Amino acid sequence: MSEHAICTERFLCALLAMLVKPISDLRLLISGLCAILFALCLPAEAQEPAKIWRVGVLVSSSASLNASRDQALRQGLHEIGYVEGKNIIMDYRFAEGKLDRLSELAADLVRLKPDLILVGGTRVAVAAKQATSTIPIVVAGAGDLVAAGLVQNLSRPGGNVTGVSRLSPDIIGTRVELLKEVVPKVTRMATLLNPGNPGYATSLREIELDALAQGIKLQLLAARSPDDLEKAFRAATRESANALLVMVDALFSNYRSRIVELAAKGRLPTIYDRVDFVEAGGLISYGMNLADLSRRAAWYVDQIFKGAKPANLPLTEPAKFELVINLIAAKQIGLTIPPNVLARADKVIR
């Protein structure tokens, strides 16, 4: 029943109630009826409009590179009742690969006074946390947030940051094992990392242990900026590395084509954390499904809008993983992928 119909029904009931009891003064009757009509109809007309939530989204890359994750986020929000322009507004800030702009962009979002800020990646999460300690921050995939000082622990974050972690107990070990299967004679594995990334502590320990267990010597290649990438690959060649593992970092994601090109030039079998590298010409990727992380982050957004505190919302681990292999890249460096590895692949580029 519409609000107008409800108002009319209430008015008629009140009118009947007044007519049952005779009223001698006509003016009193008219005044009483007007007062009842005003009082009954006012609540329906004075209802406040539905809340429109504002979400700030901070992204290290560009709109085009983030498109699949953005689509998954919007889909997740839509599935639980949020429609952009109707009950939610999304304000985006893209660093376009210029990571030194993250702090500035985070501060810009905070000035908009959003109800929540959504981020992806440890570096982006750190920038958002430095900009605000009060606005809830939802992470759609990141490294070790405990090591980065953003949460107290995964089960009870204790601050204004929560969401979906990018860590999984076996993921690093699986990457090292895959490299060993693809390159059985590997004796020296280079690892490309950014020393400025605050979420590496746990992952590096796991890489060292897993490499040791496989009888592989580890070589760390540091790259803090795009200018360091070529120097890092020259160091790998100089030290006779025969495989490469690329760590998760916003810098590497934004310069994926350059990294793939350098790996091919050095004929270095390389495993990455995400499918984007393989689609750009890289050899192998094994990692979480990034679109799924963004879709699952929508649940945290909804819970916080319903009154939950980030401090009390446990972080969750990735649920979907994918192995992608590029046979074109393998052929270019003269590598044959074992059939048992190909059989496990979720996607093969031929």
Full domain range(s) for residue 115:
53-167+290-312
Give residue 76's pLDDT band: very low, low, confident or very high (50, 70, 90).
very high
Same domain assignment for residues 341 and 223 = yes
Give yes or no for residue 322 having a pLDDT over 90: yes
Together in a domain, 228 and 334: yes
- Gap between the Cα atoms of 265 and 237, Å rounded: 11
Q: Residue 281's closest CA among 253, 262, 257, 252?
A: 257
Mean pLDDT for the stretch of residues 67-93: 95
Q: Which has the minimum average pLDDT: 115-129, 163-177, 231-245? A: 163-177
Q: Which of 122-126, 151-155, 294-298, 317-321 has the lowest mean pLDDT?
A: 317-321
Measured CA to CA, the distance from residue 117 to residue 122 in angstroms comes to: 14
Pairing between β-strand 161-164 and β-strand 116-119 as defined by DSSP bridges: unpaired
If asked whether residues 104 and 200 sit together in one domain, one would say no
Structural domains of the chain, count:
3
Q: Are residues 83 and 13 in the same domain?
A: no
Q: Note whether 28 and 162 are same-domain residues.
A: no
pTM of the model: 0.79
Domain of 123: which CATH number? 3.40.50.2300
Residue 295 sits in the same domain as residue 284: no
201 and 279 both lie in a single domain: yes
The C-alpha torsion from 106 through 198 and 154 to 66, rounded to 10°, is 50
Q: Looking at the structure, tell me whether residues 327 and 230 fall in a common domain.
A: yes
DSSP summary character for residue 21: S
CA 3 centroid distance within chain: 41
Q: Do both 130 and 32 map to the same domain?
A: no
Instruction: Please report, rounded to a whole number, the percentage of residues in the chain having pLDDT higher than 90.
Output: 70
Same domain, 21 and 160: no
Segment 13-55, tens digit of pLDDT = 554 455 555 555 555 555 555 555 555 555 544 455 689 999 9
Indicate the pLDDT class of residue 118, thresholds 50, 70 and 90.
very high
pLDDT at 112 over 90: yes
Q: Are residues 217 and 328 in the same domain?
A: yes
Please indicate, yes or no, whether residues 207 and 263 belong to a single structural domain of this protein. Answer: yes
